[in-house]
Amino acid sequence: MSKTAMTKRVGRWAAAGLAMVVGATGLYAPEASAHGEKSQQAFLRMRTIHWYDLRWSADKVKVNDKMTVTGKFHVFKGWPETTANPQYSPAFLNIGIPGPVFTRVESYIGGQFVPRSVNLTLGENYTFKVVLQARRPGRWHVHTMMNVEAAGPIIGPGKWVQIEGTMADYKHEVQTLTGRTEDIEKVGTAGIYGWSFFWFLFGCAWIAYWAMKPLFIPRYLAVRDGVPEEDLCSATDVKVGIGFLCAAIVITALSYWSANASYPVTIPLQAGVIGVMDPIPAGAPAVEIGLEQATYRVPGRSVNIKIRVTNRGVNPVQVAEFETAGVRFLNPTVYKDDTNYPPQLLAPEGLTVDDNSPILPGHSRVITVTCTDAAWENERLADAIYDPDARFGGLFFFSDTSGFRHVVPIGGPLLPRFT
């Protein structure tokens, strides 16, 4: 067999092998389980926005039905220095979903309507509410999310929501400022399709004219042989080019005039910053804590947090919960969750205290809180110990005998333990 024949045969074998690999890859296309929120750095999720008291109003809705996501969030005072924070950079309350499967109808922070960006104060707590309208059938992961300029999206906890029905039935009707009722899903679609098709044909006509003439190779050879470039185009070619140019200008001008006549009242999209939002009013803290030490025990997937707790209130208090990056560790002897929180983010018996007795008013005690669950690894929060600035952040929830909950932020260095 000649060398040329062998080369051709090897090429055919390589092409066949590549086709088999591509085909096998196409057959194996696993469904994405969520949005990849675990890929966000641990420090970004633990030391920025802490979402709590979250509620998704429904687990299953039909197309056109509305659902709400409500709750509170804490803007962590120990915000990473390497990340732009919402006190100085505009922030936008959003919902993380895989494309336009829901329509965000309304959003509120502290009871104020926030269709635009806002500023938030570090160390404060805020209430929020987002109203969504179901659009595309399927099973979707619905996250809370805060977009911060120069920092990107900060993803919160997510929950699976099932949308049933047919997308063809979707309607989103709004009343304009001039009193007209429009379906946002369909308004202007005829013009979009019509003009897109028209300009596609216009471009095809331009290409077809030149395709009927000698193209690249003959023109290249002519230029190489010294034919002046201006001789490559005839007088007819110049006239046709001018005709196409004039037609494009006239059509654009007429369509612009027609659009202005059809929609005489328009306003630009609003893109300013509303301002600083009002946080949840907070008086003097009834519970104060100070961090003594925090360690992550790698073999046991647990964080030990040694804190000094001072009760300045009028009722005895106990540690009920610790939350970080949306993962909740509960003290089962004090608090049980009934909010149907995403199970992968909930450790219902994940929190223990070395001295679980109530802390009396006016007293101070050093306790060690242990938060144990596979979520430290599954949610990739344990990666914090490998950061150049190995720190953690979270919220402690204390319950007093009257049933009131005290929210206390905490943060500091996190030391690893490998034994």
Asked if residue 93 lies in contact with residue 111, where contact means CB atoms within 8 angstroms, the answer is: no
Q: Report whether 159 contacts 345 (CB < 8 A).
A: no
Angle between helix 235-262 and helix 189-211 axes, rounded to 10 deg: 180
DSSP state of 200: H
Contact criterion met (CB below 8 Å) for 369 and 320: no
pLDDT of residue 142: 96
The domain over range 287-417 is classified in CATH as 1.10.760.10: no
Residues forming a β-bridge with 295: 304, 415
Confidence of residue 220 (pLDDT cuts 50, 70, 90): confident
* pLDDT at residue 128 tops 90: yes
In the chain, the percentage of residues whose pLDDT exceeds 70 is: 91
Quick check: 29 pLDDT over 70?
no
Joined together, the tokens standing for residue 151 give 């920092």
| Tens digits of residue pLDDT in 191-211 | 999 999 999 999 999 999 988
Nearest to 413 by CA among 98, 84, 141, 46: 46
Residue 27: which pLDDT band, with cuts at 50, 70 and 90?
Answer: very low
Rama region for 152: left / alpha / beta (φ>0; ψ in -120 to 50; rest): left
Check residue 35 and give its pLDDT: 57
Tell me the three state secondary structure of residue 218. helix
Residue range 37-177 forms a domain whose CATH class is mainly beta
Helix (H, G, I), strand (E, B) or coil at 237: helix
Q: How far is CA 324 from CA 45, 49, 296, in A?
A: 8, 9, 14
| CB 76, CB 51: distance < 8 Å | no
- pTM, two decimals, is 0.83
pLDDT at 263: 85
Residue bearing tokens 């922030």: 91
Q: Is 153 exposed, middle or buried (0-12, 13-18, 19+ CB in 10 A)?
A: middle
Q: How far apart are CA 124 and CA 144, in angstroms?
A: 18
Give the rounded distance of the alpha carbon of 331 from its chain centre.
30
